[in-house]
Amino acid sequence: MMHDGSRLWAKDLPLDVAIHRFTVGEDPDTDLTLLPFDALGSAAHAKMLAATGLLEASDATALVRELKRIANLARQNAFPIPPHLEDCHTAIEADLTRTLGAVGQRIHLGRSRNDQVILAFRLYLRDALLHLGLRISDLAAGFVTFARTHQSVPLPGYTHLRRAMPSTFGMWAAAFAEGLLEELEALQSVYQRLDRCPLGSAAGFGVPLPIDRGLTAKLLGFSKVQRSPIDVQNSRGRHEVAMLQWAASTGGVLEKFLWDVSFYSTEEFGFLKLPDAFTTGSSIMPQKKNPDVVELARGRCRELRGTAGLVEQLASGLPSSYHRDLQLLKRPVILGLRMADELFGVLVRLVPALKVDAKATAAASTDELYAAHQAYVYVQGGMPFREAYRKVAQQIQDGTFIPDRTALTATHLGGAGNLGLEDLSTDLATARSWIEAKREIHAQAEETLWAN
């Protein structure tokens, strides 16, 4: 019988404390996140073993009952992992053995810690991705509401940080909603990579037992099995990188928004006002209100890119199969996804809190913004564009330029006069429905699994 203090791989050899700490690393803390997912995967494994005759049905029932208890404790942060037990997998098996005796030890039949950790992490990533998707859906909806509210408020359009052409706050906000819609659509491709059950690959070469990998996948709400046991091991890091790169790409959409807010809320622009809750005071200057939330959020966007790069480096340069280097993936992935969750959650509250100063934006929308518009007025009268361009340029140089601001409006799809907000809202609702449907599949699978 394995005692609580035993390590699964121990061979009764002395282990220097420093070496133990080095090899275990931060797993006892990091794996707290994975505990409920490992318990869920173990329950599906137990039911599969019973269905294939490799485990007594009564033993499977007892295991699932105890695993449900462990999962509930884990979600309440009430199932600590002692350092000597190293990780969530050993801690769970030790607890099952303590409560069920030899039956608890049977949970490891037909699997390795390698496919066990991949499964737990795959379940965690799947859950985290859909959770982040709902955050982004809420954020995109906030941008659409902002665009509707300020649809016709003028805003200078800038290129090279110089005034370029007329725009509106409606166009500005709609741009970020459209960008987030693209990321929600890209999320579906990332999900498809995760929607393959790896359990049954064991150490990477399969199991010489009549296990049913398809049943395990079905029990856990996966649509398919990740067939190749070697590919299961080789994919570790690949999916994590894809997910973090998706989060970083989403951060790239938001980083531009945050930069704009930082500019537009300065005294020099005065287009936006940040509520006090999103600012902090200076330690020396009584008048200052610093946009700390905006700046930290902007930094988080870059931090996400750095985390994705770190995980890519850790996972690269390895031959096929499992290598201990891969243990180092867990902590940055979990921290990176927590970072993304905090970032998206804060911005969901920031967008509706922004205040627009329409007088300031109107004052900044000066005549020269309409230079290209005026050239097109002449073009509509039959003048070649290059000639119209030179005529307007000469008027600006002479100080005689007086544009007809009402002559032309961009009514094409996406232009200031036709933002396409209804279609955008419909597309966002479709993307959200897709996410909610997947979450429902997972919830039903878990409910059925725990029903025993």
CA distance 280 to 278: 7
Confirm if 115 and 199 have CB atoms less than 8 A apart.
yes
- Amino acid at residue number 139: L
Residue 399 region by backbone torsions, left for phi larger than 0, else alpha for psi between -120 and 50, else beta = left
Confirm if 258 and 297 have CB atoms less than 8 A apart.
yes
**Annotation says 282 is catalytic:** yes
Q: How is residue 189 written in tokens?
A: 């491709």
- Give the active site residue among 58, 282, 320, 433: 282
Beta carbons within 8 Å of 54's beta carbon, 6+ residues apart: 109, 110, 209, 210, 211
Residue 128 region by backbone torsions, left for phi larger than 0, else alpha for psi between -120 and 50, else beta = alpha
CA distance 238 to 312: 8
CA distance 322 to 115: 10
**Annotation says 425 is catalytic:** no
Short-list 51, 57, 45, CA closest to 108: 45
In terms of Cβ atoms closer than 10 Å to its own Cβ (0-12, 13-18, 19+), residue 349 is: middle
Distance of CA 415 to the CA centre of its chain: 30
Catalytic amino acids? 160, 282
